[in-house]
Amino acid sequence: MDTFQLAAAVGEQLRARGWRLAVAESCTGGLVGHWITEIAGSSDYFLGGVIAYSNQAKEQLLGVHSHTLLQHGAVSEATAREMAAGVRRLLGADVALAVTGIAGPGGGTTEKPVGLVYIALDAPDRQICRRHVWDGDRATNKAHSAHAALALLRDYLAHL
């Protein structure tokens, strides 16, 4: 399924439930929100998003705890989960997505290689986080991450 079809399918699922979505993005720089808003009528279900690239923005805007960033780092499951919960709370959404990772080409380490991404979903009944390691260039890693975030939301909504 191409990204446009995926975003449309997610929109139909959200609209059918009367749910509203919020997103918190770091390494994708707003790409998830962009793809959602490529669908006409997305204002019915998309509240908005926060691009929290710096740790300071993650803390101040999304409520990520400083000890989480110190202990686990910005690219971690713990941070992704707190970002998703934070943006859901901030915008009053029914469900939220968060993406944090290392798009590349630099910034990777042995423990956290280029292409490492955590995608979290925060909903009333649960929180889900997925770890991915992409092997593309920066643009490809960002696109894979945004697509995976939408796919996570689609799959969650399909199993409610």
Comparing CA positions, the residue from 54, 64, 65, 53 lying closest to residue 87 is 64
What gap in Å lies between CA 76 and CA 83, rounded to an integer?
A: 11
Entry pTM: 0.97
Place of tokens 């995926």: 6
Q: Are 93 and 47 in contact (CB under 8 A)?
A: yes
What are the pLDDT digits (tens) for 80-122? 999 999 999 999 999 999 999 999 999 999 999 999 999 999 9
Pairing state between β 127-133 and 46-51: unpaired
Parallel/antiparallel/unpaired status of strands 95-101 and 46-51: unpaired
Parent domain of 144: 3-158
> How many domains is the chain partitioned into structurally?
1
Q: What is the CATH number of the domain that holds 36?
A: 3.90.950.20
Element (H, E) at 97: strand 95-101
